């Protein structure tokens, strides 16, 4: 970190909008001097919760973008797939924690991938069900298209749960399996009532969350391949994950 000084980092914080001038002055006041190392300056910022380690890494690399999407400040990455990254983010005015899903840069000028991403957002915004992860907003700007989703605290995918149980030599209790399946069916039935079919139900797209004492509360996500029923009936295109598709 020798090439980055505390003064330079302070200016970068202002340039990218992570801190305002009042906050920067407050940090210098806390430190009592401007003659501190970049390491000590960063350590103080993280300790005071002005910055996350994710933000620090970007600042040190000199990254100028990717800290905000609309009114949402990115805190850290929580997931990454082929087409998109998902971040934990906070609304800068309300303080509400959300998940922000951002289409990867290389797909932003690909019409098919951009449309699939926006389709997921449009479909998800129509759905409100306890077992479906809610999508609240979408920004279709091709420079950085993103959608805003409910943040699922402490969830794990069904795939991860199955893998962990297999490693321990455990099986799902039949009662637990029925409980999970019933919730999943309720979620899909709710979507179908809105004339929406998911088309890619698999263990990676099913999250289990501890809610009010239920450690296996189902949350369905990723409607990226979803279609309206009428569209489904008039297409011959095969979509979905082969290992999970009906024969």
- Whether 157 contacts 165, CB under 8 Å: no
**Mind giving me the DSSP string for 169-236?**
T----HHHHHHHHHHHHHHHHHHHHTTEE-S---GGGEEEEEETTEEEEEEE---TT-EEHHHHHT--
Residue 200 annotated to the active site: yes
Give the tokens for residue 129: 């069900």
Helix axes 21-31, 6-16, angle to 10 degrees: 160
Three-state DSSP state, 87: strand
How far, in Å, are 24, 120, 155, 184, 240 from residue 197 at the CA level?
A: 50, 12, 24, 13, 12
Give the tokens for residue 118: 């926006």
Catalytic residue among 15, 160, 200, 222: 200
User: CA 147 to CA 76: how far, in whole Å?
Assistant: 16
User: 24 Cβ partners below 8 Å, 6+ apart?
Assistant: 10, 13, 14
The residues annotated as belonging to the active site are 200
């Amino acid at each position: 970190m020798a090439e980055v000084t505390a003064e330079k980092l302070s200016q970068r914080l202002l340039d990218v909008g992570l801190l305002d001038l009042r906050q920067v002055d407050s940090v210098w006041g806390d430190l009592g001097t401007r003659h501190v190392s970049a390491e000590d300056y960063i350590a103080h910022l993280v300790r005071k919760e002005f910055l996350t380690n994710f933000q620090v890494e970007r600042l040190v690399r000199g990254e100028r973008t990717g800290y905000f999407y609309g009114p949402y400040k990115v805190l850290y990455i929580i997931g990454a797939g082929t087409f998109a990254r998902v971040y934990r983010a906070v609304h800068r005015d309300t303080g509400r924690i959300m998940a922000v899903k951002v289409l990867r840069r290389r797909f932003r000028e690909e019409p098919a991938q951009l449309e699939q991403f926006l389709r997921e957002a449009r479909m998800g915004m129509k759905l409100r069900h306890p077992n479906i992860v809610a999508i609240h907003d979408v920004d279709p700007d091709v420079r950085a298209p993103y959608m805003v989703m409910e943040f699922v605290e402490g969830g794990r995918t069904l795939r991860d749960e199955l893998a962990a149980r297999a490693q321990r030599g455990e099986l799902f209790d039949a009662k637990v399996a029925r409980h999970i399946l019933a919730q999943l069916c309720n979620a899909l039935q709710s979507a179908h009532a809105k004339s929406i079919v998911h088309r890619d139900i698999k263990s990676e797209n099913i999250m289990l969350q501890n809610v009010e004492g239920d450690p296996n509360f189902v949350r369905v996500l990723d409607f990226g391949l979803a279609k309206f029923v009428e569209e489904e009936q008039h297409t011959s295109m095969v979509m979905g994950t082969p290992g999970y598709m009906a024969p």
